[in-house]
Amino acid sequence: MNLNVLLLPGDGIGVEVTREAEKVLKQVAELYNHTLHLSEGLLGGIAIHQTGTPFPDSTRDLALAADATLMGAVGLPEFDNAAPEKRPERGLLGIRQALQVYANLRPVRSYAALIDSSPLKNHLVDGADMIIVRELTGGLYYGTPRGISGSGPEEKAVNTMVYTRAEIERVAHMAFQLAGKRRKKVTSVDKSNVLENSQLWRRVVVEVSLQYPGVALDHLLVDNCAMQLILNPKRFDVILTENMFGDILSDEGAVLAGSIGMLPSASIGARRPSGAWAGLYEPVHGSAPDIAGQNKANPLGAIGSVAAMLEYSFGLIDEAKAVNQAIESVLNSGEVTADLKPAGTPATTSQVGDAVCAALELTPARMV
Ligand code: IPM
Ligand code: MG
């Protein structure tokens, strides 16, 4: 199969983890006889430095031409006080919108080898396995009017939380279809005791649920959901929520698994003529400028994102499984970065990438 993949390493540790993800992708292509066509583009702070904008047209063109895009992370402290359109994060919002990837899938699961890295007691987290479906191209992140105006005591900032019925319907369908292949439960999260936006969200989700009689639906207010994630993470199968709530809850979910460095994500939406998803794949973590350039960052979230890409954009289920198995065997071997290793000598970013590649060579799935 031809795999046309765009790499967008971005900023900070994004660069290091993307290199390891690239190694793993090359290893998969070699072991399973796929032809990999890699392109590389600029996004985020590095794009501002080199082109003056966080999401240059050249990157848009590359992304639209690729089958799938693998991104590292964006964000650099020197832009903290920059105007909104000159911030690295705007680049990420731009590419999500350009690719129309409205559903962001963030799987959270506990790994046996990491159970002691979780801040929760073992019995609470052991066996937790959920997927957060975060709406990604609407809500507060994109709504207008927005901006800061006026001055003095009247200086004013506005953001707008807006969803259309169609936007809620399409992401809700995604969540119910996913749940149908899992433990058949959707928990929709909103703030319908206060926000009209959430009242529409809840009403539309209930309507969509009628088309999926085999999938149970319940609702949680977002504040309660934040609490239940800590008290009883095993109660969740698929969490469906809007953009901003999903951003916040997925960071909370990430640490349940032991480290935010572990979490992959897949952003999907439109389908290609082949039926595959046009997708954007990225680890959930940020650019972590404090440890950037030190070969310390955990690349497993980025490598897990490669597995997600193989599965969703290319339908290569065996290959995806093999990558996930390789990740698990590296976790079991203890050759992990400092975020997962409170004592003893941690492995470097590149050592973990090499270990995943070595484990891939041994995986039985390759024989299938
Ligand atoms: C994420 C990140 C981004 C978001 C930032 C970097 C814009 O936090 O993917 O969770 O808020 O969506
Ligand atoms: Mg976030």
Residue 247 bears catalytic tag: yes
Residue 185 bears catalytic tag: no
Per-residue pLDDT of 296-346, as tens digits, reads 999 999 999 999 999 999 999 999 999 999 999 999 999 999 999 878 899
Distance 86 CA to ligand 2 centre (A): 19
Ligand nearest to the CA of 286: 1
For residues 191 and 205, give the distance between their C-alpha atoms in angstroms, rounded to a whole number. 14
Distance 211 CA to ligand 2 centre (A): 31
For residues 331 and 314, give the distance between their C-alpha atoms in angstroms, rounded to a whole number. 26
Radius of gyration, alpha carbons of the chain: 20
Which of 8, 10, 164, 148 is CA-nearest to residue 85? 148
Q: Which residue has the tokens 């047209």?
A: 57
- Which amino acid, residue 30? E
What homologous superfamily is domain 1-109+258-368 in, according to CATH?
A: Isopropylmalate Dehydrogenase (3.40.718.10)
Q: How far is CA 20 from CA 7, 31, 148, 324, 326, in A?
A: 12, 17, 40, 15, 13
Residue spans of the domains in the chain: they are 1-109+258-368
Tokens for 45, please give them: 């702070």
- Tell me, what's the pLDDT at 26? 98
- Tell me, what's the pLDDT at 231? 96
Q: Which residues pair with 286 in a beta bridge?
A: none
Residue 251 bears catalytic tag: yes
Percent of the chain with pLDDT over 90: 88
The torsion angles phi and psi of 128, rounded to 5 degrees, stand at -65, 135
For residues 246 and 107, give the distance between their C-alpha atoms in angstroms, rounded to a whole number. 12
Residue 111 bears catalytic tag: no
Per-residue pLDDT of 239-293, as tens digits, reads 999 999 999 999 899 888 788 899 999 999 988 777 778 899 999 999 999 999 9
For residues 188 and 225, give the distance between their C-alpha atoms in angstroms, rounded to a whole number. 10
Q: Sheet of 216-221: strands edge to edge?
A: 35-40, 2-10, 68-73, 277-281, 266-271, 103-109, 129-135, 238-241, 185-190, 216-221
For residues 357 and 21, give the distance between their C-alpha atoms in angstroms, rounded to a whole number. 10
Which of 356, 357, 358, 347 is CA-nearest to residue 295? 347
For residues 335 and 67, give the distance between their C-alpha atoms in angstroms, rounded to a whole number. 32
- Tell me, what's the pLDDT at 364? 59
State which of 85, 244, 247, 282 you would mutate to test the pocket of ligand 1, scoring each by most atoms of that ligand within 8 A of its C-beta. Answer: 247
| CA of 92, closest atom in ligand 1 | 7
Is residue 135 within 8 A of residue 102, CB to CB? The reply is yes
Map residue 7 onto helix, strand or coil. Answer: strand
- Tell me, what's the pLDDT at 368? 42
Name the stretches of the chain with pLDDT < 70. Answer: 364-368
| CA of 73, closest atom in ligand 1 | 6
C-beta atoms surrounding 233 within 10 Å: 24
Residue 11 bears catalytic tag: no
For 290, residues 6+ apart whose C-beta sits below 8 A from its C-beta are: none
Distance between first and last Cα of the chain: 16
* Annotated active-site residue in 190, 191, 212, 281: 191
| CA of 104, closest atom in ligand 1 | 9
Q: Are strands 266-271 and 103-109 parallel, antiparallel or unpaired?
A: antiparallel
Q: Which residue has the tokens 């799987």?
A: 107
For residues 84 and 146, give the distance between their C-alpha atoms in angstroms, rounded to a whole number. 11
